């Protein structure tokens, strides 16, 4: 997706060989025009898959997943990263995953009532690095009995193994852009 590459070139700050800061468009401030275009692109890629629900994980995945949900006309569910007083933990699917950028382990959870064996799920997230969060969500979707139609990722860091290992497990993964290498001052797209 050329528009996303262009915006990454404009605002992306590579902090190290494996961390890029996209706070100005995806992870802290959201550009609604770009995000709506990303949602439309995911909708186009998965239009034939009769998606019934989009699943993402808080927080940066939410705007992109929401834009795709608007376009496909289906609900969006965001997995939560921790418990609040409003969550009934006996009624949730929960998986423990390490977070690449946060440097810690979090529990992600989805209420059982929002995943159904009839569902055809499109999983959307902003980044894929090692793929731990995506694999945790995939385990949750499979435990629910729903069908995973595919995974949509805004930015795949293809020098890390997440996207590849999920594809090798037989899941369709579509990334809007793939970064094959980066270092402070330089980003190389595939």
Annotated binding residue 134: no
DSSP 158: T
CB of 30 to its own copies, least distance (A): 5
Count other C-beta atoms under 10 Å from residue 134's C-beta.
Answer: 25
Query: Is 157 flagged in the annotation as binding?
Result: yes
Contact 84, 62 (CB under 8 A): no
Residue 17 among known ligand-binding residues? no
- To 5 degrees, how large is the angle CA 25–CA 179–CA 109? 65
Antiparallel, parallel or unpaired: β 92-99 and 104-111: antiparallel
Residues that bind its own copies (CB under 8 A): 15, 19, 21, 23-24, 27-33, 35-36, 58-59, 62-63, 66-67, 69-70, 73-78, 80, 84-86, 99, 101-103, 110-111, 113-114
| Beta carbon nearer to its own copies, 110 or 148 | 110
Closest distance between its own copies and the C-beta of residue 18, in Å? 11
State in angstroms the smallest separation of the CB of 160 from its own copies.
15
14 within 8 A of 20, measured Cβ to Cβ:
yes
Residue number, 15 or 105, with CB nearest to its own copies: 15
- Residues making up the annotated binding site for 5-phospho-alpha-D-ribose 1-diphosphate are 129-133
């Amino acid at each position: 997706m050329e528009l996303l590459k262009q915006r990454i070139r404009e605002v992306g700050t590579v902090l190290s060989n494996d961390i890029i800061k996209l706070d100005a468009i995806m992870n802290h401030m959201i550009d609604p025009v770009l995000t709506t275009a990303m949602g439309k692109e995911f909708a186009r890629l998965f239009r034939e898959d009769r998606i019934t629900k989009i699943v993402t994980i808080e927080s940066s995945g939410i705007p992109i997943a929401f834009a795709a949900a608007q376009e496909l006309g289906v609900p969006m569910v965001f997995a939560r990263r921790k418990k609040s007083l409003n969550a009934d933990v006996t009624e949730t699917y929960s998986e423990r995953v390490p977070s690449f950028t946060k440097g810690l382990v979090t529990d992600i959870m989805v209420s059982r009532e929002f995943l159904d064996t009839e569902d055809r799920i499109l999983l959307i997230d902003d980044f894929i690095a090692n793929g731990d969060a995506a694999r945790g969500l995939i385990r949750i979707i499979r435990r629910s009995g729903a069908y995973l139609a595919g995974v949509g990722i805004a930015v795949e860091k293809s020098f890390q193994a997440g996207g590849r290992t999920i594809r090798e497990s037989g899941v369709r993964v579509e990334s809007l852009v793939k970064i094959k290498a980066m270092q402070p001052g330089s980003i190389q797209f595939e």
